[in-house]
Amino acid sequence: MLAHAGLPKVERALRPSIIDPYFPFVIDTLVQFPNLTAARLYEMAQQRGYPGGQSMFRQRISEMRPRKQPEAYLCLKTLPGEQAQVDWGHFDQIQIGNAKRLLMAFVMVLSWSRRIFLQFYPNQQMTSFLRGHVAAF
C-alpha cells in the first residue's frame, strides 16, 4: 500500500542470527545431499553446537532451498463416468497362417478412476474402433 501511495519501501536491517555460523555447514551439506530433510539437518547442527530451536531453523532452511520450477500441464478433473480417453497402440506383427498382420491395441482409460481397458485387434479400421468402444462400455 505504501508503494502505491508513492512512499519508499522501508527495508529492515538484517540482524545477526544464531544460525549464521551454521550456514556454511548447511549449504555444503545441501549441495552434497539435496534431499536431506530439515529435521535431519537440525539434528546435525545440534551435534555441532547449534543452540536454537527447531522451528526457526526449519524456517530458515526452507528459505534457503531452491524452489522447483512449476510444470506446465493441465490438471484433468472429471466426475465419475464423465470422460474417457481412447487411443491405439502398435504391437509389431503377428503371423496368421501365411500372412503377417498388424497387432493393434485399443486402449480406453477412464479419466476419473484411471481404470484401463485393453483389447487387441488385427487393424485400426472403424469397425474395430467401434467394437473396442462397445467392449469397453
d(CA 34, CA 40): 12
Strands of the sheet with 84-96, listed across from one edge: 84-96, 99-110, 116-121
Residue 1 predicted with pLDDT over 70: no
CA-to-CA distance for 19 and 66, rounded, in angstroms?
19
Q: What is the pLDDT of residues 59-108, one digit of tens each?
A: 888 887 777 777 777 777 889 889 999 999 998 888 888 988 889 999 99
What are the grid coordinates assigned to 50, written together? 547449534
Among 61-65, 120-124, 126-130, the least confident range: 61-65
pLDDT tens track for 26-61: 888 888 888 888 889 899 999 999 888 888 888 888
Handedness of CA 119, 123, 124, 125 (dihedral sign): negative
Confidence of residue 130 (pLDDT cuts 50, 70, 90): very high
- Residue 2 in this model has a pLDDT that exceeds 80: no
Spell out the domain ranges in the chain: 20-64, 84-136
- CB count in 10 Å sphere of residue 54: 14
With a CB cutoff of 8 Å and minimum separation 6, the contacts of 70 are none
